[in-house]
Amino acid sequence: MQTANTIADFCEALRSRDSDALGYVPAVAYHDALTRGRLELETENDEPCGFAFWGRRKNLVRIYQCVIAHDARRVLHATRLVARTLALPGARGATELALRVATDLPANEFWQSIGCRVIGTQRGGKRRHRTINLYRLSLANPKRLAQRMIAANISAATRAIDTTAADRT
């Protein structure tokens, strides 16, 4: 069993390694999110490999950071992480998911594959001058959301098989 400090340290280390994709969050925020039930951990072989840092306001669940370690990146991990986050007691009953992703990041493909739609864009920070996609996902139909997540995993698995077969020829 991981301690809160160990989990918070893992989250900060992963954020630091992937700082180009994730916005800055003070390290203490991860510990606070853990104590408030706003941080969900993903594991592979009983070791942490990613996390989702989220919050809720009224009927809106907002994911502030969602990341899987590079060596464990698979649609399955991300899908499980999002599904578990949305099933947490603090997120249940929400009608919409919101998140922000820089337009130049591969994560856009994942979010779109599970049904998120871009509702607008905004200018990024002063340092990187990126354009940020503003995403929304309706949570009103859990069955439809589950079908999208399953389809995203099947599609990713099919692409992986096709890539492996192409590499062998």
Average pLDDT over all residues of the chain:
90
Instruction: Identify whether the C-beta of residue 119 lies closer than 8 Å to the C-beta of residue 136.
Output: yes
The model's pTM: 0.86
% of the chain at pLDDT higher than 70? 94
User: What are 139's two structure tokens?
Assistant: 């949570």
Give the position of tokens 């922000």.
Answer: 100
Domains and CATH numbers, the chain: 4-168 (3.40.630.30)
pLDDT, tens digit, 9 for 90 and up, residues 35-67: 999 999 999 999 999 999 999 999 999 999 999
Q: Is 26 helix (H, G, I), strand (E, B) or coil?
A: coil
The H helix count followed by the E strand count for the chain is: 5, 6
